[in-house]
Amino acid sequence: MQKSSHQFSELKKEGLYDAIYKRRDVREFLPDPVPEDVLARILNAAHHAGSVGFMQPWNFLIIRDKQVREKVHQNFLRANQKAADRFSGRKKELYDSLKLEGILECPINICVTCDSSRLGPHVLGRDSIPETDVFSTCCAIQNLWLAARAEGLGIGWVSILNVNELKVELKIPEHILPVAYLCVGYPEKFLEQPMLEKVGWAKRMPVEELIFHDVWGNRSEQD
Amino acid sequence: MQKSSHQFSELKKEGLYDAIYKRRDVREFLPDPVPEDVLARILNAAHHAGSVGFMQPWNFLIIRDKQVREKVHQNFLRANQKAADRFSGRKKELYDSLKLEGILECPINICVTCDSSRLGPHVLGRDSIPETDVFSTCCAIQNLWLAARAEGLGIGWVSILNVNELKVELKIPEHILPVAYLCVGYPEKFLEQPMLEKVGWAKRMPVEELIFHDVWGNRSEQD
């Protein structure tokens, strides 16, 4: 058997790599609705992420209601005020100039949650590292993000929120963790570079600097 | 502007969706080495995940050394013994029959870590939810997994490990979290279904059951 027999055609590989390299964190949306079939496809893509012990610990809250979104937006405004105060000088000015969410403008918000109690107390593979349920949920979120990109949809992950307040706003039970609050809709454009790279907030690190061999800190590969 | 103007061609969409639906957690590997250019492509795909505040908190330890892998394998054996004892009866028998890792057989292991100190104490967007650095790392891992699938490579995530022992084995500093320990290589085959579904350990949930509208628990969409 040829080792490469399972690899995709060049064009299909390009489809995956385009989704990975052209995915952006989107904060500016057109008002156009998301068709039901497109929404169903990206949610099903998320649902087909791998999960520890086949636990599928995720739920998806599709939020269209304006009142609910108003509450979450107020939550963002409070959290963002606190976060902005962490910076000073030029960084503070730049921070204040950035648009960091599109909660009210986009047609739908999606909250992806993790239910640590799913499948009961003993989940195969989760005994040593209980946080693997949340890790699995994040893999589902990345599937959602990439599928959205292929469908021409933008997603923006709003991480500036008080989680306890969010749970009240979305009536989420005590034992459920909201992992991601996402803005979803068609963007006017996808930026060539991530926004924070474009405005000079931070630079892309060379991937080579992030690679070690065999043990931490070892930069040279040995035979 | 047409709302769908950014969507991919059908064939390129298929490339992404095939990676998502045909990705598996692989535990059986051929001995064939992973070519350097393929390894570079999948690592660069991981590195192009989005990250909170463009933090890029990940490192990649590429582990080929047999002695290091022997230590990690011993770690797995100890952790797995404990984990197996959580089950009894038919579940215990089934558990014991499952192959849950390919640490020594596959050509390389990759440990993906998260450095919470990267970019300093105040990272844009990470003030409210500090765990977003780990969430970003998981998004990078999913990119790695999907890119590997498109390249015909299998990845198996070994979650049955004592993390503190793993840090010693890989000389990982105190403040760095190993998020995933991955076995990487060419598989003989990719299963049609996830292994745990195939052997009857757990069932795929209907995605519709996982969707709520506006607030937790609400199954009906309102206009």
* CB distance B214 to A61 below 8 Å: yes
* A161-189 average pLDDT score: 97
- Would you mind telling me the total number of residues written for chain A in this entry? 223
- What pLDDT does residue B33 have? 97
* Residues in chain A closer than 8 A to B129 (CB atoms): 159, 161, 163
Is residue B22 exposed (0-12), middle (13-18) or buried (19+ Cβ within 10 Å)? Answer: middle
Q: What pLDDT shows up at residue A1? A: 47
Backbone angles phi, psi at A108, to 5 degrees: -140, 150
Q: Are A155 and A28 in contact (CB under 8 A)?
A: no
Mean pLDDT for chain A overall: 96
Q: What is the pLDDT of residues A93-110, one digit of tens each?
A: 999 999 999 999 999 999
Q: Is B219 on the interface with A (CB under 8 A)?
A: no
What is the structure's pLDDT at B2? 52
Q: What is the DSSP string of B36-92?
A: HHHHHHHHHHHHTS--GGG---EEEEEE--HHHHHHHHHHHHHHHHHHHTT--HHHH
Give the neighbor-by-neighbor strand order of the sheet with B211-213.
Answer: A154-157, A176-185, A108-115, A58-63, B211-213
Percent of chain B scoring above 90 in pLDDT: 95
* Tokens, residue B119: 């970019």
d(CA A223, CA A79): 51
**Residues of chain A contacting B62 with CB distance shorter than 8 Å:** 211-214, 221
* C-alpha span between B125 and A79 (Å, rounded): 10
- C-alpha span between A76 and B127 (Å, rounded): 12
SS3 A59: strand
- What proportion of chain B, given as a percentage, has pLDDT over 70? 97
CA distance A174 to A167: 8
Q: Does A117 touch chain B (CB under 8 A)?
A: no
> What part of A 172-211 touches B (C-beta under 8 Å)?
172-173, 176, 179-180, 186-190, 194, 196-197, 201-202, 204-205, 207, 210-211
Residue A221 pLDDT class (50, 70, 90 cuts): confident
Read off the amino acid at residue B124: L
A129 pLDDT more than 50: yes
Reported as a single tens digit per residue, the pLDDT across B192-202 is 999 999 999 99
Is pLDDT of B159 > 70?
yes
Note which residues in 141-170 of chain B have CB less than 8 A from chain A. Answer: 141-143, 145-147, 150-152, 157, 159-163, 170
- Residue A202 tokens read as 């931070």
Q: State mean pLDDT over A35-41.
A: 98
Please say if the pLDDT value at position B203 is more than 70: yes
DSSP string computed for chain B? --TTTTPPPHHHHHHHHHHHHH--B---B-SPPPPHHHHHHHHHHHHTS--GGG---EEEEEE--HHHHHHHHHHHHHHHHHHHTT--HHHHHHHHH-----TTTSSEEEEEEEETTTT-S--TT-SS-TTHHHHHHHHHHHHHHHHHHHTT-EEEE---S-HHHHHHHTT--TTEEEEEEEEEE-BS---SS-HHHHTTSS-PPPGGGGEEESSTT--S---
Largest CA distance in chain A: 62
CB-based contact A150 B17, cutoff 8 Å: yes
- Average pLDDT of the segment spanning A113-118: 97
> Apex CA A85: angle with CA A84 and CA A91, to 5°?
65
* Residue A223 confidence class, pLDDT cut points 50, 70, 90: low
Is pLDDT above 70 for B62?
yes
B223 has a pLDDT exceeding 70: no
pLDDT for residue A5: 85
Does the complex come out with an ipTM higher than 0.90? yes
> Which residues from chain B sit within 8 angstroms of residue A54, using beta carbons?
194, 196-197, 201-202, 204
Closest to A108 (Cα-Cα) out of A184, A159, A46:
A184
Sheet containing B108-115, strands listed edge to edge, beginning at the edge strand earlier in sequence: A211-213, B58-63, B108-115, B176-185, B154-157
Residue B1: what pLDDT? 47
C-alpha distances (whole Å) from B153 to each of A104, B63, B83, B104 are: 41, 16, 28, 16
Residue B222: is its pLDDT beyond 90? Answer: no
The dihedrals phi and psi of B181, each to the nearest 5 degrees, come to -115, 115
Query: Residues B18-31: what's their mean pLDDT?
Result: 97
What percent of chain A has a predicted confidence (pLDDT) above 70?
97
**Does the structure show a pLDDT above 80 at A32?**
yes
Q: Which residue has the tokens 């992973």?
A: B34
pTM, to two decimals:
0.97
> Which DSSP category does A34 fall into?
P
Q: For position B5, what pLDDT does the model report? A: 85
Measured CA to CA, the distance from residue B110 to residue A130 in angstroms comes to: 20
Cα A170 from Cα A167, distance rounded (Å): 5
Q: Which domains does chain B have, with CATH numbers?
A: 24-210 (3.40.109.10)
Helix, strand, coil percent values for chain A (each to nearest 5):
40, 15, 45
Paired residues of B63 in beta bridges? B109
CA B58 to chain centre: 13
- How many Cα atoms sit within 13 Å of B10 on the Cβ side? 0
Pairing between β-strand A211-213 and β-strand B58-63 as defined by DSSP bridges: parallel
Render the burial of B100-114: b for 16+ CB within 10 Å, e for the rest.
Answer: bbbbeebbbbbbbbb
How confident is the prediction for chain B on average, in pLDDT?
Answer: 96
Interface membership of A77 toward B (CB under 8 Å): no
DSSP E strands, A10-68: 58-63
pLDDT value at position B220?
87
Structure tokens at B202: 């757990």
pLDDT band at B169 (very low <50, low <70, confident <90, very high): very high
pLDDT at B3: 55
Decide if pLDDT at A3 tops 60. no
pLDDT of residue B100: 95
- What is the rounded average pLDDT of the residues B126-140? 96
